[in-house]
Amino acid sequence: MNYTVDNDEDGLRLDQSLAARLRDVSRAALQKAISGGGVSVNSKVAVKKNLRLKIGDTVGVDDVLTHAARKTVLAAQDIPLEVLYEDEFLALINKPAGLVVHPGNGNTSGTVANALLHRFGSVSDGFNAQRPGIVHRLDKDTSGALIIAKTNEAHIKLANLFSSRLIRKVYTGFCIGARPCDHELIELPLARSRRDPIKRIVDTRGNPAVTEYRLRAFNNGVSLLEFILHTGRTHQIRVHCSHRGFPIIEDALYGGLRERVLKCAPLERPFAYNIFKCFSRQALHARSLEFRHPFTNQEFTISAPYPEDFRLALEIIDEKQRSLQKA
């Protein structure tokens, strides 16, 4: 078995990465295989189980070790998908909040990947047995535009577009806290937290991460921002916003819960609470994807309609803006 380290595994120890992919093999057996020369990283034998992996590293595992852990065939599941565009090579969907993109942590059902197998019948093999058709990902509670590869050739071409930063990703988010600048380019490197493997932190030893944003509205501690991702690190927007003092609303991991409203002036709090009432998940939506089709050469801009929670919050913002203009 050979695989390439992706964003989710950046900074993981070698034995942790292998354990996540070979769930039917014990950790002791994996560590023994590493020390015995049965695992390679970038075509060189790796003998340290605690070797930290980086994005793009290629890991090779002897067939003897993987024999007992052949890929689990995912079941096709009838999970509704909103398809924004489809052709013979690729598709774009509007992922709802609450739906996990691909299996993980022993869960092999109820994901976008399962839904794809039912909706399209056949998609790309992907770079991971548990991620058919999945070229990139969105957090579970982030809604919006997601590209799906329907063939292996399309998967490679789309992955190359992402790695070359030739796909423009635009997000919309509601934040709570300090007033953001009208326009800013945040360039802060991100790394996996040593204390919490799920969490990312700003760290000079991390990977470069660049987020551009524009302020669309600000009222009573609540800001409406449009983001452009120049890199695609895990939790990038969420970490950068939190670090700047305006975390994404309802982002429990990075300080965006409604307790944050107490830091607003008393007269500002009712408006902020009204925005919070709209959301039961982090207020982040992948609004659009812009790219040149890798086969037809056609320029694409695909926008994902806002879900109900975003529409309600946008109406509140618009009403507030109109009242201020009349005052």
**Tens digits of residue pLDDT in 122-170:** 899 876 667 889 999 999 999 999 999 999 999 989 988 988 899 999 9
Q: Kindly report the average pLDDT of the chain as a whole number.
A: 89
DSSP label at residue 53: P
Q: Is the pLDDT of residue 269 over 90?
A: yes
Same fold, 2-69 and 82-164: no
pLDDT of residue 69: 44
Alpha helix locations (H) across the chain?
A: 14-21, 27-35, 63-66, 112-120, 152-163, 236-244, 269-278, 308-326
2-69 belongs to CATH 3.10.290.10: yes
Q: In the prediction, which pLDDT does 181 show?
A: 97
Query: Do the strands 190-192 and 200-202 form a parallel or antiparallel pair, or are they unpaired?
Result: antiparallel
Please list, residue by residue across 205-231, b when 16 or more beta carbons sit within 10 angstroms of its beta carbon and e when fewer do.
Answer: ebbebbbebebeebbbbbbbbebebbb
User: Is a pLDDT exceeding 50 seen at residue 315?
Assistant: yes
- pLDDT over 70 at 73, yes or no: no
pLDDT, residue 4, reads: 85
Query: How large is the average pLDDT for residues 213-227?
Result: 97
Sheet holding 2-4, edge to edge: 2-4, 58-61, 39-41, 44-45
Residues 6+ apart with CB under 8 A from 121: 76
Mean pLDDT (whole number) for 240-263? 96
**Helices 27-35 and 14-21 sit at what angle, rounded to 10 degrees?**
130
Give per-residue burial for 35-47: e unless 16+ CB within 10 Å, then b. eeebbbbeeeebe
- Considering the chain, what percentage of its residues have pLDDT values greater than 90? 63
Segment 3-20, tens digit of pLDDT? 888 777 888 888 888 887
- CA–CA gap between residue 76 and residue 122 (Å, rounded): 10
Q: What is the pTM of this model?
A: 0.80
Integer Cα distance of 282 and 190 in angstroms = 20
Write down the pLDDT at residue 71.
Answer: 47
Higher pLDDT, 130 or 261: 261
Question: Which stretches of 245-304 are DSSP H helices?
Answer: 269-278
Q: Give pLDDT, residue 43.
A: 86
Q: How far apart are CA 16 and CA 20, in angstroms?
A: 6
Q: For domain 169-326, give the fold.
A: Pseudouridine synthase (3.30.2350)
- Cα separation, 176 vs 203, whole angstroms: 23
Q: Is 139 a catalytic residue?
A: yes
Of residues 29 and 216, which shows the higher confidence score? 216
At 291, is the secondary structure helix, strand, or coil?
strand
Q: Would you place residue 70 in the very low, low, confident or very high pLDDT band (cuts 50, 70, 90)?
A: very low
Amino acid present at 303: S
Q: Are strands 284-292 and 299-303 parallel, antiparallel or unpaired?
A: antiparallel
Query: Residue 273: which residues within 8 A CB-CB, separation 6 or more?
Result: 258, 261
Q: What are φ and ψ of residue 285, in 5° steps?
A: -135, 125
- CB within 8 Å of 169: residues ≥ 6 apart: 228, 229, 232, 286, 288, 289
Angle at 252 between CA 248 and CA 254, to 5 degrees: 60
Averaged pLDDT, 293-298: 94
Percent of the chain with pLDDT over 70: 94
The C-alpha atoms of residue 90 and residue 106 are separated, in whole angstroms, by: 28
Token pair listed for 151: 């063939």
Residues 228-246 have a mean pLDDT of 96
Q: Which residue in the list 139, 141, 251, 309 is annotated as catalytic? A: 139
Residue 204 has pLDDT above 50, yes or no: yes
Comparison of pLDDT for 166 and 62, the residue scoring more: 166
8 A C-beta contact, residue 193 and residue 201? yes
Q: Say what the pLDDT of residue 99 is.
A: 94
Mean pLDDT of 237-266: 96
What's the CATH number for 82-164? 3.30.2350.10
Break the chain into its structural domains and give their ranges: 2-69, 82-164, 169-326
CA 309 to chain centre: 20
Task: Please check the confidence at residue 35 and state whether its pLDDT lies above 90.
Answer: no
Closest CA relative to residue 303, chosen from 202, 189, 168: 168
Selection from 184, 219, 241 nearest residue 314 by Cα: 219
The interaxial angle of helices 308-326 and 269-278, nearest 10 deg, is 150
